[in-house]
């Protein structure tokens, strides 16, 4: 998780995206526009508001996490990017192209080349071997057999499944199956990867391993990854930016630290309270900037509070260095404690 | 007694006259339209009768071995076929088998597209389901008589009656199998930019194949259960032996031919089921159940 790279071209822009489920979404939309709440619309028209006027800017090369509880509309949101779900209102622009204006053929071409997706329930084809599953997207795209199997084999190795090429997917564990799902998406070499609760069905340890692998992969791939999760810790761990959804409406959007240090409302504070802040807050966001005398001990600006805490047993100051090893500031135990204590009930 | 509200006699007369009119004016057309069916049946029958008995026994036992890779099923198949031969039922059994195979093949060609169509449109399903119910519950004599009037007694009306009776389960199971494919897999396929044809051939049909095969199994069984009725209008075969047994009060003849039908049913039921199981194991459904 590095500082958002200075590369601000937008990959995905969503403008006022609203989705209402039911036979007459337009009627319900009028009520919603008139200022009624999601619950009121549902009570009056029996229509479910999936998304309520969501606007997001997702820069290229980021891992952008959308976080929310079940029913918050996050899975609906991600399906709008490749138009598996059609919005009731709003605009979705991907790399400058309006996704909603695409014809059916253009949409298929877009799905075959520009966006790949990883699913919570894996969505693998049980009648095919692992390698044929990984090559599936390329097969649909029309890539020749030899070439697609080569690409697939390469990605199977990258995700650590070498030797399983000819297994059936049902013979694999959940973690292995999701590696197949990930390899299938990566072999598409698309700019955008959509990950819908990709790790939620996995055991905690395996999930953590997959998160680490995704972060490592992203360092070399630099894809735009839209990642959906209900797990705030996961969001903090892998997200360059995080958006929080509740009842289909956007609550807050920002860097992980922004959300932990300055939660926008009570709903988000509830998440923040449960989270290990020492791991979520990075020294770069609390350091005292400026050129100071070199400290005996120093840490990278990407380190989190958890990493520096033990150093304060021996040192009063800990220096903070940037990527090139140049000291850009320092932190004290007091600053760290203050950051951790903020927003904790009864203190700040 | 229910009071007579209207006189239904004119209606009955209209139906009878209508049918007679059709037979007079269109009988020849219908007959030539059904000619390919007759050719198919004849070809299969001639092939089965011309093939030496030991080759047929070898083939079916071999298929049974391929379906299970164990000795039990081939032994059962071998025993059933030897029974047919020893009891002097071989030629009749081949005729019956030809009728069953021709009816099943035709039913597959007709039913699977209808099942696909039903699985995609609620309206189609609502429209076709009552027709299927009718085909399965209407006593076969009701449509047997008009078919005989139109095509004349012989193998064609027998084949058509068998198809009408045997096709519905395959249509239903094709529809069911296609609709019960895991929606998560279908969505994943859609997300990779597949068109409906690619989803049907690459995802839906392979995953529904065990269910479709169960439908084919049902169709073969129901086709066999029609052989006695079919032999009444000239299909010949084992059913005819049963019929003669009844007519002449020769219990033994009816019994042996009846057991011959059972033997055929066992052979085809066990072989198709074994293939279904093999297919399911390949897809990995067994662990999921």
The tokens of B279 are what?
Answer: 């297919």
Cβ–Cβ gap B288/A169 under 8 Å: no
Joined tokens for residue A253: 């959007």
> Of B188, B192, B283, which is closest to A112 when you measure between CB atoms?
B192
Decide if B274 contacts B64 (C-beta within 8 A).
yes
Q: Which residues of B touch A141 (CB under 8 A)?
A: 193
Per CB-CB distance under 8 Å, the chain A contacts of B282 are 127, 168
Separation between Cα atoms, residue B63 and residue B81, nearest integer Å: 13
> Residue A126 and residue B184: Cβ atoms within 8 Å?
no
Note every long-range contact of A27-35, with CB atoms under 8 Å and residues 24 or more positions apart, other chains counting. Answer: A29/A88, A29/A89
- Across the interface, of B193, B203, B283, the residue whose CB is closest to A108 is B193
> Does residue A122 sit in helix, strand or coil?
coil
- What local confidence, expressed as pLDDT, does residue A335 receive? 81
Residue A260: name the closest of A284, A238, A233 by CA: A233
Q: What residues in B contact A81, CB-CB < 8 Å?
A: none
Looking at beta carbons, which residues of chain A come within 8 Å of B183?
none
Query: Per the structure block, which two tokens stand in for A26?
Result: 């337009």
Residues of B in contact with A195 (CB under 8 A): none
Dist CA B237 CA B117 (whole Å): 35
- Name the residue in chain B with its Cα closest to that of A117: B191
CA distance A262 to A267: 12
List the domain boundaries for chain B. Answer: 12-51+89-288
**What's the residue count for chain B?**
289
Give the pair of three-digit tokens for residue A167.
């297994």
pTM above threshold 0.95: no
Domains within chain A, CATH numbers bracketed: 280-341 (3.10.580.10)
Closest-CA distance of chain A to residue B55, Å: 34
Strands A192-196 and A224-229: parallel
Q: Which helix (H) or strand (E) holds A107?
A: helix A104-113
Nearest to A126 among B191, B194, B207 (CB): B207
* Of B114, B113, B80, B105, nearest in space to B269 by CA: B80
Q: Which of A111, A115, A126 sits opposite B283 (nearest CB)?
A: A126
Q: Which residues of B touch A110 (CB under 8 A)?
A: 193
| B203/B185 Cα distance (integer angstroms) | 8
Give the chain B residue whose CA is nearest to the CA of A108: B193
Judging contacts by C-beta atoms under 8 Å, the chain B residues touching residue A126 are 185, 207, 283-285
Residues of chain B found within 8 Å of residue A84, distances taken between Cβ atoms: 187, 190-191
Inter-chain contact A127–B285, Cβ cutoff 8 Å? no
pLDDT for res A315: 82
Give me the pLDDT at residue A89, please: 92
For residue A169, which residues of chain B lie inside 8 Å, CB to CB?
284
Tokens of residue B208, six digits: 């529904």
Cα A3 from Cα A30, distance rounded (Å): 41
- Where do the H-state alpha helices sit in chain B? 9-33, 35-50, 53-68, 72-86, 90-120, 122-137, 140-151, 155-179, 183-191, 196-199, 205-225, 227-232, 238-247, 251-283, 285-288
d(CA A280, CA A255): 11
CA atoms A270, A276, A279, A285: torsion sign: positive
- Tell me what the pLDDT averaged over chain B comes to: 90
Q: A interface toward B at CB cutoff 8 Å?
A: 82, 84, 107-113, 115-117, 119, 121-127, 136-137, 140-141, 168-171, 188, 194
Instruction: Measure the CA–CA gap between B227 and B248, rounded to whole angstroms.
Output: 19
Cα nearest neighbour of B286 on chain A: A170
- For the stretch B194-225, pLDDT in tens is 999 999 999 999 999 999 999 999 999 999 98
Phi, then psi, of B276 in degrees rounded to 5? -60, -45
Task: Using an 8 Å CB-CB cutoff, list chain B residues near A109.
Answer: 193
Binary contact (A141, B190; C-beta < 8 A): no
Question: Closest Cα of chain A to B218: distance in Å?
Answer: 24
Q: Which residue of A has its CA nearest to B205?
A: A127
Query: Which pLDDT band holds residue B141 (cuts at 50, 70, 90)?
Result: confident
What is the pLDDT, as a whole number, of residue B233? 86
In A187-276, which ranges are continuous DSSP H helix?
204-221, 232-238, 256-261, 266-274
| pLDDT computed for residue A347 by the predictor | 42
| Cβ contacts from A onto B, under 8 A | 72
Side-chain-side CA neighbours of B237 within 13 Å: the count stands at: 33
**Is the pLDDT at B285 greater than 60, yes or no?**
no
Strand partners, A129: A168
Confidence tier at B287 by pLDDT (50, 70, 90):
very low
The predicted structure's pLDDT at residue A342: 62
Torsions phi, psi of A172, nearest 5? -95, 160
Which segments of chain A have a pLDDT < 70?
1-8, 342-348
Angstrom CA distances, A187 to A152, A205, A236, A238, stand at 6, 25, 27, 21
Question: Could you tell me if A297 and A311 are in contact, meaning their C-beta atoms sit under 8 angstroms apart?
Answer: yes
Tell me which chain B residues have a C-beta less than 8 angstroms from the C-beta of A125: 185, 189, 202-203, 206-207
Determine the Cα–Cα distance for residues B94 and A14; give it in Å rounded to an integer.
Answer: 68
CB contact under 8 A, B194 and A108: yes
Gap between the terminal Cα atoms of chain A: 28
CB-nearest to A119 from B184, B194, B288 is B184
Return the closest-CA partner of residue B155 out of B93, B92, B230: B230
DSSP state of A5: P
Which pLDDT tens digit goes with each residue over B267-284?
Answer: 999 999 999 888 888 776
Q: Please name the residue of chain B whose CA is at the shortest distance from the CA of residue A187.
A: B192
Name residue A63's beta-bridge partners: A225
**Given A112, A123, A194, which is nearest B184 (Cβ)?**
A123
For A134, the closest chain B residue by CA position comes to: B192
Residue of A nearest to B209 (CA): A127
Query: Looking at the domain that runs over B12-51+89-288, which CATH code has it been given?
Result: 1.10.3720.10
Q: In what order do the strands lie in the sheet with A317-321?
A: A288-289, A327-332, A317-321, A298-300
Question: By CA distance, what is B283's nearest residue in A?
Answer: A127
CA dist., res. A135 & res. A316, Å (int): 55
Q: How many angstroms away from the CA of B25 is the closest CA of chain A?
A: 49
Q: What pLDDT was estimated at residue A348?
A: 39
Instruction: Give the residue from B181, B186, B193 with the most A CB atoms within 10 Å of its CB, the best one to mutate.
Output: B193
SS3 A285: helix
């Amino acid at each position: 998780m590095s500082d958002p790279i200075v590369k601000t071209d937008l990959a995905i822009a969503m403008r006022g995206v609203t989705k209402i489920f039911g036979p007459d979404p337009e009627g319900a939309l009028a009520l919603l526009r008139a200022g009624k709440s999601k619950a009121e619309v549902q009570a009056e028209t029996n229509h479910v508001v999936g998304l309520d006027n969501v606007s997001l800017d997702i820069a290229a090369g980021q891992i952008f996490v959308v976080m929310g509880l079940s029913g918050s509309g996050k899975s609906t949101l991600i399906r709008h990017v490749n138009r598996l779900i059609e919005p009731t209102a709003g605009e979705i622009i991907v790399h400058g192209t309006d996704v909603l204006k695409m014809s059916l053929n253009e949409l298929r071409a877009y799905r075959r080349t520009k966006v790949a997706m990883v699913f919570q329930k894996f969505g693998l084809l049980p009648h095919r071997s692992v390698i044929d599953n990984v090559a599936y997207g390329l097969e649909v795209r029309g890539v020749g057999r030899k070439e697609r199997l080569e690409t697939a084999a390469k990605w199977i190795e990258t995700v650590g499944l070498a030797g399983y090429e000819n297994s059936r997917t049902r013979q694999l564990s959940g973690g292995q199956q999701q590696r197949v799902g990930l390899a299938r998406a990566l072999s598409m070499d698309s700019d955008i990867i959509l990950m819908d609760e990709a790790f939620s069905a996995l055991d905690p340890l395996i999930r953590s391993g997959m998160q680490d692998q995704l972060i490592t992969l992203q360092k070399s791939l630099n894809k735009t990854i839209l990642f959906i999760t209900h797990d705030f810790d996961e969001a903090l761990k892998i997200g360059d930016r995080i958006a929080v959804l509740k009842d289909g409406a956007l609550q807050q959007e920002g860097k992980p630290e922004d959300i932990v240090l300055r939660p926008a409302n009570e709903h988000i504070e509830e998440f923040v309270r449960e989270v290990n802040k020492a791991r979520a807050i990075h020294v770069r966001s609390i350091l005292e900037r400026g050129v100071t005398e070199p400290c005996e001990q120093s840490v990278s600006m990407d380190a989190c509070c958890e990493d520096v805490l033990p150093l304060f047993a021996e040192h009063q100051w800990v220096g903070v260095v940037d990527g090139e090893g140049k000291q850009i500031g320092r932190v004290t135990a007091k600053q760290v404690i203050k950051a951790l204590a903020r927003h904790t009930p009864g203190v700040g | 007694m229910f009071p007579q509200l209207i006189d239904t006699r004119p209606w009955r007369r209209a139906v009878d006259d209508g049918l007679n009119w059709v037979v007079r004016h269109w009988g020849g057309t219908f007959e030539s339209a059904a000619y390919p069916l007759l050719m198919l049946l004849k070809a299969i029958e001639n092939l089965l009768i011309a093939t030496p008995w030991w080759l047929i026994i070898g083939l079916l036992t071999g298929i049974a071995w391929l379906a299970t890779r164990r000795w039990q099923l081939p032994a059962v198949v071998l025993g059933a076929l030897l029974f047919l031969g020893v009891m002097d039922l071989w030629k009749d059994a081949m005729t019956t088998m030809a009728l069953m195979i021709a009816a099943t093949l035709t039913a597959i060609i007709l039913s699977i597209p209808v099942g696909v169509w039903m699985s995609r449109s609620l309206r189609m399903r609502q429209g076709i389901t009552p027709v299927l119910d009718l085909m399965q519950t209407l006593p076969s004599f009701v449509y047997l008589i008009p078919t005989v009037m139109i095509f004349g007694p012989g193998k064609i009306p027998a084949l058509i009656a068998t198809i009408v009776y045997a096709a519905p389960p395959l249509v239903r199971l094709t529809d069911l199998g296609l609709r019960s494919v895991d929606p998560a897999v279908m969505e994943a396929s859609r997300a990779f930019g597949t068109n409906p044809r690619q989803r049907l051939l690459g995802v839906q049909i392979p995953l529904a194949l065990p269910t479709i095969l169960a439908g084919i199994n049902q169709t073969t069984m129901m086709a066999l259960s029609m052989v006695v009725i079919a032999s009444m209008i000239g299909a010949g075969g084992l059913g005819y032996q049963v019929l003669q047994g009844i007519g002449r009060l020769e219990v033994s003849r009816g019994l042996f031919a009846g057991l011959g039908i059972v033997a055929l049913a066992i052979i085809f039921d066990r072989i198709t089921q074994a293939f279904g199981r093999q297919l399911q194991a390949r897809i990995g459904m067994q662990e999921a159940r």
